[in-house]
Homo-oligomer: A and B are copies of this chain.
Amino acid sequence: MAAQAQVVENKQVILKGYVDEVPKETDMEMKVSKLELKPPSQGSSAILVKNLYLSCDPYMRGRMRDFHGSYIPPFVPGKALEGFGVSKVIYSDNPNFKAGDFISGFTGWEEYSLILKTDQLRKIQPDDQVPLSFHVGLLGMPGFTAYAGFYEVCSPSKGEYVFVSAASGAVGQLVGQLAKLHGCYVVGSAGSKEKVDLLKNKLGFDEAFNYKEESDLGAALKRYFPQGIDIYFDNVGGEMLDAALLNMRIHGRIAICGMVSQQSLSNPKGIYNLFCLISKRIRMQGFLQSDYLHLYSRFLELVSSYYKQGKIVYIEDMNEGLESAPSAFVGLFHGKNVGKQIIRVARE
């Protein structure tokens, strides 16, 4: 076959070694290897894909540590990182996928990937109204995290007061919009004037504030929620969580999502206001979207439909080229991204 003859260069983002502190660009390096584009060996069920979009997600930091007790194993130093992506199938030995299909799911941080573990990949139904990149954002893991966290963990009711931290991020921006559509009053926090403007003017939050301009987070929340908070969707942990605890209403709910897990292993930050849990009878719950996958098709239908009706928007921060991946990823931990951080590796 002619295809067997085609050898391409395959750029990769390699993890150099385990990382204990906040990740730096120098923790990763670019490497170029050769790859023969040919059908996977028969019976392997593998697929060979060209990666189009890669998702930069904060949870990946946990995989850079030499810690095996988590829900997902660490990366392997010397090998390409992996994460959620949108890819196009080139060759398939798997009856569920054929050449030309677009898929979303775990892939490598490289131009081409041979994917052996295909059971959690999703075939994307082509839809002119929905950008392909949305399948790692609005319609992917972050969007589903927002959906499952808000509806299943926060038990929202119309008219309730909702606070979202990291509100313009991949998860937060959808939480806020779902809460608005649910009839809640929604305030978001973010780390720059630009993000605060987006929250108020584009994402439809009732109010938003820049936490970096607040010397007392508890007082800031008191100002935005004089009546208290019913639901806190926590994307950051630390001081903001402590401040929110002080401002919760009776029978409030706190969904613990995302970055608190990142902060804690190497740089623990104490939480001092858990006494509020008792007097206010607060339920605080950690969750992973993967526990709710039975709801995924319902989510996809609802959120796609909201998007097509113009009821929600989704902001992406799109970096061009695999070479930009290390700095884009590192930027997540410094609030550099505005909206969902994505790497465009290739156009179809």
Contact = CB atoms under 8 A, between A and B. Distances in A.
A258 B285 CA distance: 19
A202 B275 CA distance: 32
A279 B237 contact: no
Contact of A261 (B71, B275, B283): B275
A196 interface: no
Contact of A272 (B258, B262, B264): B264
A37 interface: no
Contact of A278 (B69, B268, B287): B287
Interface string A213-237: 0000000000000000000000001
Contact of A286 (B257, B260, B280): B280
A256 interface: yes
A264 B276 CA distance: 9
A122 to B, nearest CB: 22
Contact of A270 (B261, B272, B279, B285): B272
B270 A256 contact: no
A273 B264 contact: yes
Given A71-B279, A261-B279, A237 B274 contact: yes
Contact of A283 (B258, B270, B285, B288): B285
A271 interface: yes
A342 interface: no
A29 B273 CA distance: 32
A221 to B, nearest CB: 15
The 4 closest A-B pairs by CB, nearest first: A270-B270, A277-B286, A264-B275, A278-B286
Given A71-B250, A281-B291, 20 more contacts: A70-B279, A71-B279, A256-B277, A260-B274, A260-B275, A260-B278, A270-B270, A271-B271, A271-B272, A277-B285, A278-B286, A278-B287, A278-B288, A279-B286, A280-B286, A281-B287, A282-B285, A282-B286, A283-B285, A284-B285
